[in-house]
Amino acid sequence: MKLTVAQGTALSVGAVLGTGVISMPALAAGVAGPSSLVAWAALILLSAPLADTFAALGARHPDGGGVSTYVRLAFGPRAAAAVGWCFYFAVPLGAPAAAAFAGNYVADVLGGGRRTVLATFLVIVGVVYVMNWFGLRISGRVQLWLTGALATLLLVTVATALPHARWHNLTPFAPHGLAGIGAAAAVLVWGFAGWEAVSSLSPDYRDPRRDVPRATAIAVAVVGVLYLAIAATSVLVLGPALGRSPAPLADLLAVGVGGPVRVVTAVVAVLLTIGAVNAYLAGASRLGAALARDGALPSRAFGTQRRSLTFVLVASLGAVTLPFGLQTSMLLVTGCFTLVYVLGTAAALRLLPAGPSRFWAGVAFVAVLGLLVLTGAPALLSLVVAAGAVGYQAWRARRPAKIAIPSPISAGSTAPNPNTKPSCEVA
C-alpha cells in the first residue's frame, strides 16, 4: 500500500519532466535563441538545491500538506493557508495548459484544431482522476512503467537525431542578449515545477526519512540529463526552426528516424502529460484534504482526498473555458508556484538543522526570489489567491467569537467554561 523508492522516483520524474520536455525547448528558443541553453542549465542547477530542500523537509515532516505544512510549522496557520491556496488553486488552472501541449501533438496527427485539443484534455484528466480515485498503489505502479518507457523513448530520440546536429545552429548565440535569457528562464519555470508537488506524497512512502531523499536524488539526475539532452539536441538539430515549431519533439524524431513518426510523438506527448497531471492531482488531492483538516478550507467540500480530487477535476473543467491564451495561463500558474517556492524555502531555513540541507535551502531561497522577479506581473495572481486565504482565515476566526456570545436564556451565567474549545478554532 506504500510507495517504493522506484515508484516515488517515477512520480517525481513524471511531475517535473511531464509537459516541459515536449514544448519548452521551442518556447525558450523562441525568446532567447540558442542562448536558451544557458537558461536550461541554470534551471537544472537550481533543481538540485530546490529538490534537496523539499526532500529534506518531507523526510523530517512527512505530511500530506507538503509545503503548506512546512510553512505552518515555521510561520503559523495563516501563512500556511496562503501558500496552500497558491498551490492548490494553481493546479486546476495549470491542467488545461499542460494538456494543451499534448493536444497540439494530437491535433498535428488527427486535425481538428481546438476541438481535438479539448478532447485530449478531457481524456487526460478523466484517466488521471480514475487512477487517483483508486489510490496510489495503482497510480504509482502505472507511473513507474510509464516513466521508464518515456525515458527510453526520449533517449532514442536524442541518439537518432544527434548525428544531424550542426554547430552553426548556435549562431547567433544570444540574439536578444541577457534579457532573452532571463525571459527564457521565466518561461522554463513551468518545465521545472513539480518538486514541491511530490513533497505532499512523503507520508505515503514506506520509510519517508530514508526513501524521500533517495527518490528525489535519483529523480534530479534523471530529469537533468533528459532535459539538457533534449534541449541541446533540439537547438543543434532544428536550428532557427525550433522557435517556430508547435511540435518540436515530433520534428526532432522525424529528423532522426524518418517516416510516419507523428503518431509516435503524439502518444509520447499524451503519456508525458498523463504522468505530470497524475503527480499533480495526486499531490493536490492530499493537500486539499490537509488544508481542510487544518481549517484553511471548508471540511464539507474538501475534507477527504476524494472530495478534494473531485474539486480539482471540476475546477479544471471550468478553467478550460477561461479566455486566456496558453502563455498567459502558464505565467499565471508559474507565478503562484514561485511564491510557493519562496515561502517553502524560507520555512526550510527555520525548520532544518544547521548543515548541508540548510545551506542548500538558503541557495534555493535566493534563486527563487530571482525567479519571482523574472516572472513579472503574472505573479500578482499569487497575491490575490494569498489574500483570499487570509480573508477566509479571518472570517473563520470571527465565527467562534459570535458563537461565544451568551444568549438571553443563559445570561445569568456569563463566565465561559475554560475547558470548552471553540468548534471553529483554527488548528
Domain positions in the chain are 5-398
How confident is the prediction along the chain (427 residues), in pLDDT tens digits per residue?
A: 577 787 777 777 776 776 777 888 888 888 899 999 999 999 888 888 988 888 888 888 877 667 878 888 999 888 888 988 988 898 998 888 888 888 988 988 888 888 999 999 999 999 889 888 887 555 556 666 777 777 887 888 899 999 999 999 998 998 888 888 988 888 888 877 777 666 667 777 878 778 888 888 888 888 888 889 999 999 999 988 888 877 888 888 888 887 778 888 888 788 878 877 887 788 788 888 888 888 889 988 898 889 999 999 999 999 888 877 777 788 888 888 888 899 999 999 999 998 888 999 999 999 988 888 887 777 788 889 988 998 898 888 887 544 444 434 333 333 334 333 333 322 2
Q: Return the C-alpha cell found at 79.
A: 501563512
Is the CATH number of domain 5-398 1.20.1330.10?
no
The Cα–Cα gap between 266 and 227 comes to 18
pTM assigned to the model: 0.75
| CA-closest candidate to residue 382, choices 326, 342, 348, 349 | 342
The Cα–Cα gap between 12 and 65 comes to 17
